[in-house]
Chain A
């Protein structure tokens, strides 16, 4: 399967713990995006990378959130000191670096905070 891969698929943790998610994009894609989706809503943009550079961050990305993409390949999204409101599906997408190219999504990591 050469699609976008996300790990883990599900994560359950206690409030206050730190969590880290991983995204492996489609190998030829140099743009990588993170989105968050809560129940009944469409996905909301969090941040995106072009190669290893983080070019845009949403105001939804509080100080407790950090994303990295070392060497421009896979990316990690870390949430520190998790809160109940962080419970959501975290989606990763990737695309070619051309203006109208579509983003292709993984199946997400579902985070549940106890």
Chain B
């Protein structure tokens, strides 16, 4: 149980285009989803926290107009990288929280590697 599906796994796009990454909790309802960015050989950087039906809370330094996050349902959150540029190339990972308590573990998607040419 507690499976999180993230799609696409790999995406290559041209500079200036937008890319949407989907994160779905397959067998549970995720009250909160977190979006992380991971640079090579580095830790995870939290980009934003999204709660179903409300606006995402972005971390300091993350451009909310560039990284659009939507959490339209309890099983789906999307991250759209708008007008992507080569510096946006990275590994993006979503994580879902069941929300049963504040002591629970996160369930991670498999990650999406974005390459912007």
The reply to whether chain A is a binding partner of chain B is no
